[in-house]
Amino acid sequence: MATAGKVIKCKAAVAWEPNKPLVIEEIEVAPPKANEVRIKIVATALCHSDFHYLVEFTPKENFPIVLGHEAAGIVESVGPGVTEFQTGDKVIPLYLSQCRECRFCKSPKSNHCENSAPPVPIKAEPDYRYTCKGKNVLQFLGTGTFSEYTVMNQIAVTKIDPAAPLDKVCLLSCGICTGYGAAVNTAKVEPGSTCAVFGLGAVGLAAVMGCYVAGAKRIIAVDINPEKFEKAKVFGATDFINPKDHNKPIHEVLIEMTNGGVDYSLECAGNVGVMRSALESCVKGWGVSVLVGVTNMQDIAARPIQLIAGRTWKGSLFGGFKSKDGVPQMVKAYMDKKVKLDEFITHNMTLDQINDAIELMKHGKCIRCVMSFSPQ
Ligand code: NAD
Ligand code: ZN
């Protein structure tokens, strides 16, 4: 490749400051160092976590940054020591790595990896791979995919089926694996069970799909935006509840509907009040409630008797999938038509329209907006 070993100048959407529109800029992307892979991003989607970082998590010192972590692309070049990838491989970047060597990677009990990029980027000089107008620019979650090219460590990249459509499977790099896996891997939903999913963005809808594929007989979809119910039906939801239609706590409504509570509940809204409702909606004795939605601003609260009575409260990161192994398996499941992806995509745009995509997410008008850079 003519570009191998050289700095690449390309387009990226730079967030210069919190809470301001992103700016399309020309940035410089460094060549890959030892154990790194430079990837040409073909498609990237907007996830709530990008939005959260921009508008809710706002320390100024964590800017400028290139957001974006849900993506798919093609290897442009590799650094010294990389044997697993070569130019032209179709890959998915992973915000959660799998180094296969740390104590978490070696344990079947967890999908964490000690060597993952920290959620808030470290600003040590050698860690920068992007520059713009003479300034160093951070990569969100170590990925920074709102850029035509990114550079990542090979432990955070996975090779996928070359036949996979990148503008669809990009969704597997975050939201869909997260929700689907929370139901299948973390809750371990059993056939014939009753489930409730709170929050019907891409993550919640993927949780509905996970419950359905696991054989749940009843899946209750809960959202304060009733426009989401039609989509939830597509993924297998059987009942629909808008908490705003009821003048009593939503867990009481669910307990009445299910003769004592659901077997599994999944919180996919990122709200501590909803987390409590989801726990209290579970049946005593064996109910399992999984926290998927992210917030780090407030404490969660519950009466201890809820847990003493036999309910289990769990959390799920990236759907419990060990990332390098799990994502290609999910790509295969999509190619084999065992899981849906196309139905999550409500908008297709180009990177130049990123601020429109952010507006749509802010107003609950999109499930997933996929942005492309160049024809595949
Ligand atoms: P989204 O904004 O598209 O969807 C959130 C949904 O929750 C919306 O439909 C909204 O109407 C609904 N909602 C809001 N308040 C509610 C309430 N009180 N009751 C019921 N529904 C309510 O977001 P998304 O992209 O689907 O992400 C969902 C959450 O998952 C976010 O918090 C995100 O940060 C988190 N997330 C977690 C992980 C993980 O590994 N655990 C990974 C990715 C994203
Ligand atoms: Zn590891």
pLDDT at 376: 43
Omega cis (within 30) before 64: yes
**Mutation probe of ligand 1 site: the residue of 48, 97, 231 with most atoms within 8 A of C-beta:** 48
pLDDT at 10: 96
Residue range 159-175: mean pLDDT, rounded: 97
Task: Count Cα atoms within 13 angstroms, Cβ side, for 334.
Answer: 27
Q: Report the nearest-CA residue for atom 12 of ligand 1.
A: 199
Identified catalytic residue from 10, 47, 105, 170 = 47
pLDDT at 122: 56
How does pLDDT run across 182-217, given as a tens digit for each residue?
A: 999 999 999 999 999 999 999 999 999 999 999 999
Length of the chain: 376
- Burial pattern 235-266, b for ≥16 Cβ within 10 A else e, equals bbbbbbbebeeeeeebbebbbebbeebbbbbb
Query: 372 catalytic, yes or no?
Result: no
Neighbours of 204 (CB within 10 A): 31
Helix axis angle, 48-55 relative to 354-362, nearest 10°?
A: 90
Q: Which atom of ligand 1 is nearest to the CA of 204?
A: 26
Neighbours of 90 (CB within 10 A): 21
Q: How far is the CA of 42 from the centre of ligand 1 (A)?
A: 25
Mean pLDDT computed over every residue of the chain? 94
What does the alpha-carbon distance between residue 169 and residue 333 come to, in Å, rounded to a whole number?
11
Residue range 158-163: mean pLDDT, rounded: 98
The first and second tokens of residue 132, run together, are 């713009």
Q: How far is the CA of 101 from the centre of ligand 2 (A)?
A: 5
- Whether the pLDDT of residue 85 is over 80: the answer is yes
**Mutation probe of ligand 1 site: the residue of 51, 268, 323, 367 with most atoms within 8 A of C-beta:** 268
Q: Which atom of ligand 1 is nearest to the CA of 366?
A: 3
Q: How far is the CA of 174 from the centre of ligand 2 (A)?
A: 18
Confidence of residue 374 (pLDDT cuts 50, 70, 90): low
Residues with CB under 5 A from ligand 2 (ion): 99, 102, 105, 113
- Whether the pLDDT of residue 57 is over 70: the answer is no
Identified catalytic residue from 48, 49, 211, 369 = 49
Query: 246 catalytic, yes or no?
Result: no
Q: How far is the CA of 116 from the centre of ligand 2 (A)?
A: 7
Q: Which residue has the higher pLDDT, 256 or 115?
A: 256
What does the alpha-carbon distance between residue 157 and residue 175 come to, in Å, rounded to a whole number?
17
- Whether the pLDDT of residue 1 is over 80: the answer is no
Q: Report the nearest-CA residue for atom 25 of ligand 1.
A: 48
How does pLDDT run across 270-300, given as a tens digit for each residue?
A: 999 999 999 999 999 999 999 999 887 789 9
Q: Annotate 31-45 with DSSP letters as a single string.
A: PP-TTEEEEEEEEEE
pTM (predicted TM-score): 0.95
- Whether the pLDDT of residue 125 is over 70: the answer is no
Roughly how many angstroms between the first and final C-alpha of the chain, as a whole number? 17
What does the alpha-carbon distance between residue 342 and residue 270 come to, in Å, rounded to a whole number?
24
Identified catalytic residue from 105, 174, 195, 282 = 174
Percent of the chain with pLDDT over 90: 88
Measured from the alpha carbon of residue 325, the closest ligand is 2
Strands 135-139 and 368-372: unpaired
pLDDT at 343: 97
Query: 52 catalytic, yes or no?
Result: yes
Confidence of residue 100 (pLDDT cuts 50, 70, 90): very high
pLDDT at 119: 61
What does the alpha-carbon distance between residue 375 and residue 192 come to, in Å, rounded to a whole number?
44
Query: 174 catalytic, yes or no?
Result: yes
- Burial pattern 307-327, b for ≥16 Cβ within 10 A else e, equals eeeebebeebbbbbbbbbebb
